[in-house]
A = this chain, B = another copy of it.
Amino acid sequence: MVLDQAQSDNGMARVKRDEFESALFELIEGWLGEAPIDVVACGMVGARQGWVEAPYSAVPCDPTPVAPFRVPDTDPRIRAFVVPGLKQMLPPDVMRGEETQISGFLSSRPNWDGVICLPGTHTKWVQVSASEVVSFRTFMTGEMFDLLRGQSVLKHSVSDGWDDAAFAEAAADALSKPEQLAARLFGLRAADLLQGQDGGVAKAQLSGFLIGAELAATRPYWLGQQLAIVGADDLSDIYAKALKQQGAFVETANSTQCTLTGLMQARKLARQTA
């Protein structure tokens, strides 16, 4: 049960290796008493530049095959743990954080077989069989969207707003002609200059071109497969729309909820092995 929550923008990019504990205490110090409290974390906090390096587990394996790493030498008011990520040697790929979401998603679905899509900055497509992560593939789709929207020439032509039909058309176009991506992108600028195209339509098209290209690449992952999307609700909806348009059957689950469930399981594992 969530009793309280707190968040901050002090992520990996802003916090130095020896500042993680103080960044955490800024958020949770008011929650602490005399008895030590368990803190269980996942994601980039376990990277080499993170709080404590938690070496990857190699797939195929259970999403959380080993107990979380204990962070040494913390303040005595906490016992802190970090969940290790997963690595795949061929083709090389890595994840940190998604393994916890996958573990949370699978906890209420014993014997689930299928594919989980985790959309985000670096979208993951994960093949699951017999409760194991068999293989996975990461796409830089979200990061490309952010860069193109915020830092490229398209920033002059893409604004807030949205258009469902424009998204659907762009996604279908990219699914059939993914190689045209770089031309379609400049087309958004030209359509603004020559036709005064609406910036919200352009935003939906930008998203559609990038997600459509990703779906062209992941066709073997979603075509005829049991498929679940684990992500933020808005983004999951967008992926689900594009996939349903292609006839795929999609279940969605909220990623925050899956993370919390996964962290609770990781805490159990930590206490069993402590």
Show the binding face of A for B, using Cβ within 8 Å. 87-89, 91-94, 122-123, 137-141, 143-144, 147-148, 151-153, 177-183, 185-187, 189-191, 193-195, 210, 213-214, 216-217
Contacts and interface: CB of A to CB of B under 8 A. Distances in A.
Contacts of A178: 178-179, 181
A143 B139 contact: no
B92 A137 contact: no
Given A140-B182, A144-B152, A182-B213, 15 more contacts: A88-B190, A92-B190, A92-B195, A93-B186, A93-B190, A137-B183, A138-B186, A139-B182, A139-B183, A140-B185, A144-B182, A178-B181, A179-B213, A181-B213, A182-B214
B180 A87 contact: no
Q: Tell me the number of copies of this protein.
A: 2
A152 B147 contact: yes
Contact of A179 (B152, B179, B185): B179
Contact of A187 (B91, B185, B193): B91
Contacts of A153: 122, 140, 143
Contacts of A152: 140, 143-144, 147
